[in-house]
Structure 1
């Protein structure tokens, strides 16, 4: 797979090049297992993610991603680094300035904040099993106190505050407004109990929105996940009519 790895903000980043470039770019924001180092990334080592990468490269997309400090939980410094990555890629690659965002799990937290920062520069957003709100997510984790404490510690470390402060801020968190003018496609891959609970949490959150943006939810069984890359490419291509 043709790619270029480089460091930005002491974090490794990579650009994956298509076989026949279409001129459109996709920023990938990964979940808790996501990583990028000097030689590889989770998305080119994991079979399922590698297939999505392959499908999108075959569709002509230039894809780029960063390590983003590991388990970032949508932290301000991760969002800032993602914005810096966008600027660097735009300067060094021949791409349309309006990009697609592809995010999984906790990557959605950064994606929604970044879309607000880059308003007008986002063409579409695709979310896979997303965490849309720390508040909603931690309410689910309370059922399992061990995981709740573990995740709370990760969030506190990522946001560089103490546990008490982050717990208070999560309880007072306002819900995302999705006010950035880009269509959103959410894929729920129903792999087990946690995935079903997360899908319900997303649906409940979206039902609270007063002015609902163009959001489409799709539910997929694991055996159909092999079609995900092509489904994502088709969705993105529908939002490339206006350059």
Structure 2
């Protein structure tokens, strides 16, 4: 794959270049372990994600994303870096200024925070088994001591708070999909039925779409079975293609 790796704020970022560009770009917001380093990225190394990038590039999309400080949990730093990355790519590449967004897992939390500041620059959004509530995820992990301690440490590092104030900070930042319920941006969710990391999120996701449907806002949920996972890339590309009127 033809790609370029560079740094913004010392964080590795990557741009993938298609052979025949179609003028549109896709911003990826990855999950907690979706790294970018100076040689490669999780999305290049993992088979399912690589197939998504391949399908997007075959259709002519420029694809770009960043390491975003690793386990950022939608910190203000990660929101700011995402905006900087978008403007960097827009200045240097020939793309339509309204980009598609693909967010997986933790990336769903970033979408929630980016909508007020970047919603007008988003053409459409696809969510892959997203986390839409840090509060719910934090509550879920309390049931598993090892994962709870790990998550707590990640959040304190991401937000620069003391561990003793971590839960208080999370309680103050409860949004739980409120902006996703109201956004006019088309939002399509591909939800795996066997996800375990964010198993408590699906009732919230259903509530988001009930409210979006009541408001006649564009979007839908697609439930995907493990044996149909290969369809993910086709679903993503198909949804983006529906929202490309200039």
* TM-score of the alignment, normalized to the shorter chain, above 0.5: yes
Point out the more displaced range, 166-175 or 1-10: 166-175
Q: What's 1:60 paired with? A: 60
Matched residue count: 242
What's 2:84 paired with? 84
CA distance in 2 between partners of 1:83 and 1:199 (Å) = 28
Structure 1: unaligned runs, 5 residues or longer: none
Distance in 2 separating the partners of 1:69 and 1:208: 33
Partners of 1:130 and 1:72 lie apart in 2 by 15
The structure 2 residue matched to 1:191, chosen from 190, 194, 200, is 194
Q: Which residue does 2:225 correspond to in 1?
A: 221
Give me the whole-angstrom Cα distance separating, in 1, the residues matched to 2:205 and 2:114. 19
Determine the structure 1 residue equivalent to 2:143.
Answer: 143
Equivalent residues of 2:112, 2:179 under 8 A apart = no
Secondary structure of the structure 2 residue equivalent to 1:108: helix
162-171 or 80-89, which deviates more: 162-171
CA spacing shift, 1:82–1:112, aligned 2, 3 Å:
same
> Which residue of structure 1 aligns with residue 126 of structure 2?
126
Aligned-pair CA distance for 1:112:
2.3
Deviations 1:36-57 (A, max 9, x none): 1121111011001000000111
Query: How far, CA to CA, are the matches of 1:195 and 1:112 in structure 2?
Result: 16
Q: Which moved more, 1:181-190 or 1:145-154?
A: 145-154
Q: Which moved more, 1:155-164 or 1:65-74?
A: 155-164
Deviates more, 1:195-204 or 1:78-87: 195-204
Indicate how the Cα distance of structure 1 residues 194 and 79 shifts in structure 2: closer, same or farther if over 3 A, else same.
closer
CA distance in 1, matches of 2:134, 2:240: 27
Distance 1:159-1:207 versus aligned 2 partners, 3 A rule = farther
Asked if 2 retains the 8 angstrom alpha-carbon contact of 1:28 and 1:63, the reply is: yes
Query: 8 Å contact 1:136–1:201 — kept in the other structure?
Result: no
Aligned to 1:93: 93
Q: Secondary structure at the match of 2:223?
A: strand
2:119 partner SS:
coil
1:121 and 1:208 map into 2 onto residues whose CA distance is: 23
Give the equivalent residue in structure 1 for 2:49.
49
Instruction: Please identify, of 151-160 and 112-121, the stretch whose mean Cα deviation from structure 2 is larger.
Output: 112-121
Change (3 A) 1:150 1:51: same
Quick check: 205-214 or 193-202, which moved more? 205-214
Equivalent residue of 2:149, what SS? helix
Structure 2: segments with no counterpart, 5+ residues: none
Checking the alignment, whether the CA contact within 8 Å between 1:27 and 1:63 is kept in structure 2 is yes
